Structure 1
């Protein structure tokens, strides 16, 4: 982490995704050693459904703990929030059950005074994160941008919210045809 922090400098947000690979004790021990690198967040440090363990980690760390992308439906989010297990709520639009469910989870996070970030699908999440008072950032992965005629543009390091009606998206039919099966 120190090498990465040195390479990017102090003004760029540095996040670390553990993808549920550490034990509770490992997460606490490792983050203690890298605390001086000022992580913007530590993502999914341990099993996504170990709410008591996540709460222990969140209490012990200086870096905020972000999690939630692995939850299907809204009920696990309620349990995670009630356990005070995280500092940043990460919602995956597809796993949570669509826009309505996503907005419900964002509302629950707001009730706990927690910020919300997205997981993948920036083309749609840019609209959702912009629409809530506790939206923090959109996870930007450009993998699917080529599927759209006019994907959201990056302007001065920020993903611009489309101005067109609805989600502001139209599929690029030629791109869709390239991926068509059958």
Structure 2
């Protein structure tokens, strides 16, 4: 009825068994990753089928190199990537990986990007 796209971080990050149970019991995709920090944590999430949309945070997971490794692992599991809000870094990465879904764009909650960047990203019709 509500057409919910995903449940984001619905359970504490270290409760992987419960995330897997929830993923099995609901038709709504489970999106997690912003509170996971290593490729090994992501591997466990994927092995236990506790994630359906991977939201690795480039600033927390070890940078671009580790993000690419996590994305490759997610691709092997048939999972899309939607990185957690580091859009100036992850927008080109999402475009470069085969399983890039989209990236978060939530500037209104943070420092106005016009104060930080000369030419901030400005989505138009959902695209940049």
After TM superposition, give the deviation of residue 155 of structure 1 in Å: 2.0
1:59 corresponds to: 24
Does residue 130 in structure 1 map to residue 99 in structure 2? no
Higher helix share: 1
2:40 corresponds to: 75
After TM superposition, give the deviation of residue 125 of structure 1 in Å: 1.2
Contact 1:116 1:129 in 2 (8 A): yes
Higher strand share: 1
Any stretches of 5+ residues in structure 2 without a counterpart? none
Could you state the TM-score of these two structures normalised by the residue count of structure 2?
0.91
Does residue 150 in structure 1 map to residue 115 in structure 2? no
CA distance in 2, matches of 1:87, 1:119: 14
After TM superposition, give the deviation of residue 83 of structure 1 in Å: 0.8
1:111 corresponds to: 76
Work out which structure has the larger RCO, using CA pairs closer than 8 Å and 6 or more positions apart in sequence: 2
- Tell me which structure has the larger Cα radius of gyration: 1
Could you state the TM-score of these two structures normalised by the residue count of structure 1?
0.65
After TM superposition, give the deviation of residue 117 of structure 1 in Å: 0.3
Any stretches of 5+ residues in structure 1 without a counterpart? 1-35, 161-182
CA RMSD of aligned residues (A): 1.1
